[in-house]
C-alpha cells in the first residue's frame, strides 16, 4: 500500500494544480486582484457552505460535487497566499483628490459617488495619473 502522503503529493496535488490551471485560465489576474484576499475569502466561504451541504449534511449537490469544490478551494487558497505575499505599497497617502478613498489590502483605492457607486478605480505609485485608472 502506498504511503498516504506520497499519494497526496504525487497523485492528488498534481490533479489540484491541473484543475487550478484549467479553471483560472479564463479569468486572468484581474479575476482575483481587483477584490484582493477579501474577495477570495468570500469565494471560499460560498464554497464551504456548499461543501457543508454535500459532506456534512449528506445532501445531494446538483452541479459541482465535493471533490471539485475541494479542488476549487485549493485554487482559492493558492491565490490567497499569493495575494498575502504581494509587497505592500505603503497604504493610503494624503492628497488633495476630491473623492474619498476606500483602500483594499493591496493598496488600491476606489472613488465613490454619494450613492456608493464606483466612479473610477486607481492604483499607485502614480496615484491620480490618467494612465493608472482601470475604469
pLDDT tens, position by position, 72-82: 999 999 999 99
Provide the edge-to-edge strand list for the sheet that holds 109-112. Answer: 102-103, 109-112, 118-122
What's the whole-model pTM score? 0.62
Q: What is the pLDDT of residues 80-97, one digit of tens each?
A: 999 998 765 443 344 444
**CA–CA gap between residue 130 and residue 119 (Å, rounded):** 14
Q: Tell the burial category of 6 from Cβ atoms under 10 Å away from its Cβ (0-12, 13-18, 19+).
A: exposed
- Please state the domain extents for the chain: 4-85, 89-135
**CA–CA gap between residue 32 and residue 37 (Å, rounded):** 8
Who has greater pLDDT, 70 or 105? 70
The residue whose grid cell reads 483628490 is 97
Amino acid at each position: 500500500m502506498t504511503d498516504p502522503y506520497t499519494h497526496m503529493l504525487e497523485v492528488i496535488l498534481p490533479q489540484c494544480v491541473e484543475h487550478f490551471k484549467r479553471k483560472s485560465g479564463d479569468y486572468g489576474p484581474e479575476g482575483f486582484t481587483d477584490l484582493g484576499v477579501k474577495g477570495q475569502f468570500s469565494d471560499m466561504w460560498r464554497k464551504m457552505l456548499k461543501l457543508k451541504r454535500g459532506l456534512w449534511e449528506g445532501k445531494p449537490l446538483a452541479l459541482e460535487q465535493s471533490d471539485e469544490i475541494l479542488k476549487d478551494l485549493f485554487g482559492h487558497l493558492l491565490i490567497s497566499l499569493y495575494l498575502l505575499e504581494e509587497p505592500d505599497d505603503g497604504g493610503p497617502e494624503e492628497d488633495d483628490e476630491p473623492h474619498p478613498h476606500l483602500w483594499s489590502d493591496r493598496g488600491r483605492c476606489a472613488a465613490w459617488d454619494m450613492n456608493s457607486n464606483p466612479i473610477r478605480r486607481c492604483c499607485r505609485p502614480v496615484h491620480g495619473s490618467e494612465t493608472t485608472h482601470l475604469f
